[in-house]
Amino acid sequence: MEPQVAIIGAGPCGLMAAEHLAKAGLRVTVYDRMASPARKFLIAGRGGLNLTHSEPLQTFLTRYGEAADWLAPAIHAFPPDALRAWCASLGEPTFVGSSGRVFPQQMKAVQLLRAWLKRLESLGVQYAPRHSWQGWQQGALHFTNVHGQDVLVRPHATLLALGGASWPRLGSDGGWVLIMQAAGVQVASLRPANMGMQVEWSEHMRTRFAGTPLKPLAVTHAGVRRQGEAILTAQGIEGGVIYALSAALRRAIETSGSAEVLLDLRPDMSLSDMTKKLSRPRGNRSLGGFLRACGYSPLAISLLYECVPAAQLAHATPAELAQHFKALPLTLSGICGLERAISSAGGIMRSELNEQWMLRALPGTFAAGEMLDWEAPTGGYLLQACFSTAIAAAHSIQDYVHNQY
Ligand SMILES: Cc1cc2nc3c(=O)[nH]c(=O)nc-3n(C[C@H](O)[C@H](O)[C@H](O)COP(=O)(O)OP(=O)(O)OC[C@H]3O[C@@H](n4cnc5c(N)ncnc54)[C@H](O)[C@@H]3O)c2cc1C
């Protein structure tokens, strides 16, 4: 039997909408091009599934920047506490980590997903794997299945939950952009978000330090300072503290071709304490030997040589050396690609949706999740917005279907 609601995309957004619509008594089928659902959700849980954040809701909303007032009604209606309660209802209570981030007790997504899929099955949600959505044909949704056959579906309403374009091998490759544009829907181009940055490291840095963590580390860009961790890569630098600044860094690189950051390699130590430490007699030691004796790591010392001209270092006073370690200028020459970005910026523009999350150009077709034009840093803000917009869209779909028939 034809579904009343077709949901395309079995990520956290599509599955959450499916749960709500099935609970409301609607016949729902979830289509996905992959063989199994929620591949990105599972990867997201690999290093600890950061579901949401415990900070006050007003602060929480500011993380969405310009999109905050757009997403606010959906997040108010399904806030972080509701998400935590939902997790608990699946047998996975959550806890707040030291940074205020919220995780399931098991840390991973796998148990949560298993319990969730069982619930969806018991609610009668149908799942159609290996169905790749191609657009519309004769007014019907057009999929190609695993055998290359065309499948046409005519639901009463459709939810597009196709995700962004990061980690494309997990299923979300942004291929839907062309389908949307052909249907007259405006899409802001999909760009990497929460991604690594490129640095033109010397051969020495690349071969000796690729894969080495830098922690604790504080990074300042355009007067905004963030503290956390990073890791040097052969291409540049990545990790939480870089992701936290990635939207501003991307804009700077798009405008000027490169961006400057200042690295504080000892955020835990004041400038005056560091100056005091570096004021010990150097004796006849080389600068490198002296810094090693002062407790600086080989990576910190190499970064100093990499970022500050040798002539400036040769006669640097203790105060100047301390200043370098607290504000090492590093040039970022580009941004790393979508293949390894945590998320993508861009997507279906706000102007293209009405307040019910329905596409103005395509009555009966709704959209939610990461495929919409908002971005947020890591910290649980991505999944929270996907879940909240899913539920908001599901409520609208429920009304839409009931009003039609
Ligand atoms: C390494 C990594 C770690 C992350 N960690 C976190 C974290 O800890 N906390 C957090 O908040 N966020 C995290 N994220 C981001 C989070 O996983 C995403 O924001 C979220 O999965 C987006 O949900 P979605 O349902 O909108 O889209 P997706 O999860 O991308 O799902 C979209 C689905 O649509 C399907 N699809 C796409 N095109 C088609 C088509 N043409 N036909 C059929 N099916 C199609 C895809 O196969 C996919 O299953 C992480 C992401 C990555 C890559």
CA of 9 to the centre of ligand 1 (A): 9
Residues 141, 154: contact at Cβ < 8 Å? yes
CA of 40 to the centre of ligand 1 (A): 5
The answer to whether the CB of 198 is under 6 A from ligand 1 is: no
The answer to whether the CB of 101 is under 6 A from ligand 1 is: no
CA of 311 to the centre of ligand 1 (A): 49
Substitution site in 110, 146, 162, 387 for ligand 1 pocket (most atoms within 8 Å of beta carbon):
162
Burial of 75-103, coded b for 16+ CB within 10 Å and e otherwise, reads beebbbebbbebbeebebebeeeeeebbb
What are 223's two structure tokens? 């007067």
Residues 387, 116: contact at Cβ < 8 Å? no
The answer to whether the CB of 14 is under 6 A from ligand 1 is: yes
Helix (H, G, I), strand (E, B) or coil at 174: coil
Cβ within 8 Å of residue 72, ≥6 positions away: 61
The answer to whether the CB of 52 is under 6 A from ligand 1 is: no
What are the DSSP E strand ranges found in 78-223? 94-96, 101-104, 126-128, 132-137, 140-144, 150-153, 157-160, 187-193, 197-198, 213-221
Cβ within 8 Å of residue 126, ≥6 positions away: 3, 27, 28, 29, 30
CA of 163 to the centre of ligand 1 (A): 5
Four-point Cα dihedral 359, 360, 361, 367, nearest 10? 0
Residue nearest to atom 13 of ligand 1 (CA): 44
The answer to whether the CB of 133 is under 6 A from ligand 1 is: yes
- Phi and psi at residue 343, in whole multiples of 5°? -150, 180
Look up residue 183 and give its DSSP letter: T
pLDDT number for residue 102 = 98
Residues in the chain: 405
The answer to whether the CB of 80 is under 6 A from ligand 1 is: no
CA of 369 to the centre of ligand 1 (A): 9
The answer to whether the CB of 176 is under 6 A from ligand 1 is: yes
Substitution site in 383, 384, 387 for ligand 1 pocket (most atoms within 8 Å of beta carbon):
383
| pTM as predicted | 0.93
d(CA 379, CA 99): 9
The answer to whether the CB of 385 is under 6 A from ligand 1 is: no
d(CA 137, CA 151): 10
Residue nearest to atom 30 of ligand 1 (CA): 163
Four-point Cα dihedral 157, 158, 159, 163, nearest 10? -170
The answer to whether the CB of 10 is under 6 A from ligand 1 is: yes
CA of 18 to the centre of ligand 1 (A): 16
The answer to whether the CB of 369 is under 6 A from ligand 1 is: yes
139 Cα distance to chain centroid: 34
CA of 135 to the centre of ligand 1 (A): 20
242 Cα distance to chain centroid: 12
The tens place of each residue's pLDDT in the chain, 405 residues long, gives: 778 999 999 999 999 999 999 999 999 999 999 999 999 999 998 889 999 999 999 999 999 999 999 999 999 999 999 999 999 999 999 999 988 999 999 999 999 999 999 999 999 999 999 999 999 999 999 999 999 999 999 999 999 999 999 999 999 999 999 999 999 999 999 999 999 999 999 999 999 999 999 999 999 999 999 999 999 999 999 999 999 999 999 999 999 999 999 999 999 999 999 999 999 998 889 999 999 999 999 999 999 999 999 999 988 999 999 999 999 999 999 999 999 999 999 999 999 999 999 999 999 999 999 999 999 999 999 999 999 999 999 999 999 999 987
Helix (H, G, I), strand (E, B) or coil at 301: helix
Q: Which helix (H) or strand (E) holds 366?
A: strand 365-367
Substitution site in 8, 40, 373 for ligand 1 pocket (most atoms within 8 Å of beta carbon):
40
CA of 344 to the centre of ligand 1 (A): 10
